[in-house]
Each structure stands twice: as C-alpha cells, then as structure tokens.
Amino acid sequence: MLAVAGVFAQDHEGLKKHPQPKVAATNAPVTQAEARATFIKAETVLRGALGMPASSPHVSIPDSDKPVGRDAVVAEMVRFIAVFKPKVKMTPSPVTFDARRLQMNGPQRSNLALLVRKGAVAPVGPLATSKENTLTVPQFGDAIGFLMARIAQMTHLPSSKWTPYLRPEGEG
C-alpha cells in the first residue's frame, strides 16, 4: 500500500506538461460557427450512443463569426429532434406553459412552442423568453443540455430496477 502511495506522490519528472488554456468569462454572444460545431458534435455523439449509422450532419447554421440568432437555434433543434425520431421509445407528457411568455415572432414561434411542449426547451429559459435575439455561451449551453437530456429520455425506456415510480407498490 505504501509503495502505491509513493508512485502517486512522485513528481512525474520528464513528463511533458501542457499549458492549461485560459478560460475567460464573457457575455459575448455565441457565434454561428460555435453553434454549428456544437450541433455537429452533439449529433455525432448521440448517433454513436444510439447505435445509429454515422452520417455527416446537415446543420443549417453557417460557419460564420456572426452571432447566431435564437430563431436559427430553434430551427436547428427541430431538425435535431427529427434526426433521432426513429429511435424514440417513449413520449413524455406534454409540458404545460404560458405561450404568452414566448418572446419570438415569425415562423419559428410555432416551432419554439412545439419544442417547449415536448420538454426540449425550458419554458422560462432565455431561448424561449429572452427579448434579445442572441444567446451567451452559458445560455446556449443550458439550451443544448436541456435538449440533449430530453432526447436521452425519449430514446431510452425506463427500467423498474432504476426508476422507483415504476416499481409495484410496496417495493422500494
């Protein structure tokens, strides 16, 4: 045991040390290129996890340094859900929300309402209720995380072994 502790306590001389990247907090909006790269990575990861054939994602967001608009994010989320529709195993109950709170006009408003109803977008999150047309990195990250969590939920059947509310009464 002492020998193992000694191995972990060594200084690791001779190993190449990589500099840690500097991460700076920013309120700058997410660029189209960043959003595009995120959707491509997310689709690639989910395809692998769900056993779907690899494919080049057809992301509609251009590779540009301009800020990505909330409407473009909503459109891409709708496409994203459609890609994984063949793997859906359960449909959760619709989320109830006050549609008057949605702060999006134009053709993507109905898609935003659909995503909120499906539980893929937070009903009072910045993607749905912000008066700004752009999202910051934390806001965009939350929106993508919310979407990924809902897709994971819809594409896997719950097991009574790990889901207490599915167990017969008295087990527990």
The least confident of 25-29, 46-50, 87-91, 108-112 is 25-29
- Residue 168 has a pLDDT of 79
148 and 39 Cβ atoms separated by less than 8 Å: no
Band (7; pLDDT cuts 50, 70, 90) = very low
Query: Could you report the per-residue pLDDT of 115-141, keeping only the tens digit for each?
Result: 999 999 999 999 999 999 999 999 999
Query: Domain map of the chain by residue range?
Result: 28-158
pLDDT tens digits, 13-56: 666 777 776 666 678 999 999 999 999 999 999 999 999 998 88
Supply the pLDDT for residue 23.
60
